[in-house]
Structure 1
Amino acid sequence: MCKYKLPESLANDIDELEASINKYKKGEMNSDELKARRVPFGVYEQRESDTYMIRIRCAAGFVTPEQLEKVIELSSQYCMDKIHLTTRQELQIHYVKLDDIVTIIRELSKAGLASRGGGGNTIRNILAPEDAGINPEERFDVSPYAIALTSRLIAENDSWTLPRKFKIAFSGSDKDKGYATISDLGFIAQIKAGQKGFRVYAAGGLGTKSRTSNLLLDFIPEKEVYNIAKTLKNLFWKHGNRKNKYAARLRFLWEKLGEKEFRNKFAEEYETVKKENYSPLEVNSFSNTSIEATFQTVKIEDKRDFELWRKRFVNSQKQRDLYSINIPVELGFIKNEKALELVNSIKPFGNNVIRITKDQNFLIRNISERYLTNFYDFLKTNQENFNRPFIYDKIISCTGASTCQLGICFSRGAAKAIIHKLSESNIALDNLYNLKINISGCPNACGQHPVADLGFFGKAGRVDGKLYPVYNIVAGAVVSESETRLAEKLGEISARDLPEFLTDFLKTYLDKAAKYKNFREYILSEGKSDVEFISGKYKNVPHFKEDKNYY
């Protein structure tokens, strides 16, 4: 099975974390010292006192049903009644008590999972498209490379002591579904003269100062993937800014050195790395084949509803007669009991059956057509909000001020208000299937608003000295090799008026959509002025005494 390997040092690292927590509890270590040790383990403090979040690495979004079951079990036993799917294809469990952190991390390691690198100045979870290996348009399956590179890098000590976080992504085609062109290091699959390889991008990323990546190398053979990653990691480790974390990502090093000097230093380091004669990655491919289940297929009575569900959530794989199924998870949170029901439904189909998507949903794969009715029947019986337009569950939001200590606005609450408002509208939401709506509670871009078709990020406004929550409006992003463009700031809207603004705007867009090839073309033509006009209708925020609901 193609899973990442836990480093041999992990058990000792967990022991050291346990020792640090014990010192903190005895008063022998302060909170900042403990933070420096727990955050690289993916353990973040939440707003509620003495509660923490643990982020679990799932390279390329891959997790086996048994691993997912273990996470659900731990969440039920120690945390809350939900698990969370992240935009980096990871799992999170929330409201963990300090005394339970090490126990949970040890139990995760028994299942082949690690939280190490879930936060801090480390090699973060490596991305690949959730449909890698089954997408008819891909050049080849990139997910085994993401997993193999994970195994190699998390075994190296310097992967935990970088100047800042380091994010890597793989994509299988020019459509860049893995976000290689907005990462610190990105690989896009190529085939040259019959040889598998990659085009390499570097020094991009999202945050308060987002940047698209730069083309670094037009082609490298597949055997050079590790050497390239090692080279850029070394370059970052040696020359990155360790004094100012707000200007420490690799993209700031590119800007500081300038393109010519960055390329020169990269070339020098690359020659040094090649002389070390590191072995290429051990890439083990996935077998995307069907497994015959022992249960009988289900007959569907409401064929019209089944066909609507199939149109919304089911896609053909490149493997003949196999299909993938999108499993919506509203805002990435799924109740433990519902997640466990899902696990039990997919176990008969083997280990290579589920991925976590970047829009915080699940993707089931390798399902024969005859079992689609079984999944339809199961989901209709067990899933909340069954068979509603997929746009509801593709809305992305960070956790916001409800749990995040950096959050300015309650972005998840805003997303829920948007979902409620859309459900009351008469908008043809199925016609917005591919529209990306992203919400961040602050400028840090954890909700990935810079790559949204329509995005929002929080800030504070003021009327007569009273603060109220406001969202900047951004729009028009494109992520595709050679065409990647970040969303442009077009206006602002109060949090109170956000759902009404969005509903008005989407109605306007759909009235005009037939004239345009895509949403970005609309934004560049009429969309900007439409955003300005519609948001302008809500620009007058009442005083606190007139309507305290705005504050």
Structure 2
Amino acid sequence: AGRSLQQGNGMLVAQKQRGYYMVQIPLTLGDIKAEVFHSLADIVETHGEGLLHTTQQQNLALSWAAESELPELLQGLDTLGLGGSRPAVLRDMVACAGASTCRLGICLSRGLAEALAGELSQDGLDLDSLGELKIYISGCPNACGRHPVAQIGFYGVARRVGSRLVPYYMLLLGGMVEEGKTRLAQPVSTILARNVPSFLVEYLRSFQNSDKYPDFEAFLDGKGRKIAEDLALSYMEVL
């Protein structure tokens, strides 16, 4: 069991039924190539309950996988490039379709998600220590990207700068969905769209450099919101 859990790298969730697991299969913003999907279907057909479920994190899930079949199942997923090598904060990042295909979209939310993943991966942050930090992005104030329940949420807005409409994102902090603790994220400040990746890296670094707070929720309840407000000021203006 220990070896299987280690191989799962965060993909496995123990079910209430002893000896069975739900296997979370990570996708990038819900995308999967047709040929990979066909091969995945062949694997799923002979493992667990034989059915795939979609998740609110834009991933896939297979339930009722017996502990004895985990090594073969996880190896098959690795072969398809669907292993759990990405940190959870990147694996579970959510973005709506955005302005590229949605008529209501103001900003390119999927593009921002890709930029955030790239910036976070290259900046030397300890992403594993962030755990399952929820970063959700919507291309407009509508909640298709689930930003109201994100620990760090963004939604697209437009601001007039001179004669131009310029894309910005509203930053929200503190959302949570948990029994007895559910709350909506609260708006903090707008940030110029192209500056959001740099802002987020600097903000998360300030959290990781603080030894005073055991987790991100404690950081927000302490000085985290004020730090975000102050930091956002330097990322608001068009240069």
TM-score by length of 1: 0.41
Higher Cα Rg: structure 1 or 2?
1
Partner in structure 2 of residue 428 of structure 1: 126
1:340 Cα offset (Å): 1.5
- The answer on 1:519 being equivalent to 2:216 is yes
Partner in structure 2 of residue 418 of structure 1: 116
Q: Which amino acid aligns with 1:489?
A: P
CA distance in 2, matches of 1:334, 1:474: 29
Q: Is the 8 A contact 1:475 1:490 kept in 2?
A: yes
Of 451, 454, 459 in structure 1, the residue corresponding to residue 149 of structure 2 is 451
Runs of 5+ consecutive residues of structure 1 not aligned to the other structure: 1-303, 543-551
1:332 Cα offset (Å): 1.1
CA distance in 2, matches of 1:350, 1:372: 9
CA distance in 1, matches of 2:175, 2:200: 17
Partner in structure 1 of residue 23 of structure 2: 325
Q: Which amino acid aligns with 2:220?
A: I
Instruction: Spell out the pairing of 1:133-532 with structure 2 (5 A cutoff).
Output: 308-349=6-47, 351=49, 353-383=51-81, 387-512=85-210, 515-516=212-213, 518-532=215-229
RMSD: 2.2
Runs of 5+ consecutive residues of structure 2 not aligned to the other structure: none
CA distance in 1, matches of 2:221, 2:73: 41
CA distance in 2, matches of 1:521, 1:540: 30
Give the direction of change, closer, same or farther, for the CA distance of 1:515–1:352 in structure 2 (3 Å limit): farther
Report which stretch shifted further, 460-469 or 491-500: 460-469
CA distance in 1, matches of 2:4, 2:18: 21
Q: Is the 8 A contact 2:10 2:84 kept in 1?
A: no
CA distance in 1, matches of 2:13, 2:209: 28
Q: Which amino acid aligns with 2:110?
A: R
Partner in structure 2 of residue 537 of structure 1: 234
Give the direction of change, closer, same or farther, for the CA distance of 1:537–1:306 in structure 2 (3 Å limit): farther
CA distance in 1, matches of 2:22, 2:49: 14
SS in 1 for 2:235: coil
1:422 Cα offset (Å): 1.3
1:384 Cα offset (Å): 5.7
Give the direction of change, closer, same or farther, for the CA distance of 1:323–1:529 in structure 2 (3 Å limit): same
TM-score by length of 2: 0.91
1:352 Cα offset (Å): 5.4
Cα displacement string for residues 300-352 of structure 1 (whole angstroms, at most 9, x for unaligned residues): xxxx9976542421122221221221100111111111112111101013645
Q: Is the 8 A contact 1:353 1:366 kept in 2?
A: no
Q: Among the aligned pairs, what percent are the same residue?
A: 37
Q: Which amino acid aligns with 1:349?
A: H
Report which stretch shifted further, 351-360 or 494-503: 351-360
SS in 1 for 2:207: helix
CA distance in 2, matches of 1:384, 1:349: 15
Cα displacement string for residues 36-55 of structure 1 (whole angstroms, at most 9, x for unaligned residues): xxxxxxxxxxxxxxxxxxxx
1:501 Cα offset (Å): 0.8
1:518 Cα offset (Å): 4.3
SS in 2 for 1:447: coil
Cα displacement string for residues 521-548 of structure 1 (whole angstroms, at most 9, x for unaligned residues): 3212111111112222222312xxxxxx
SS in 1 for 2:209: helix
Q: Is the 8 A contact 1:478 1:485 kept in 2?
A: yes
1:353 Cα offset (Å): 4.0
Q: How many residues align?
A: 238
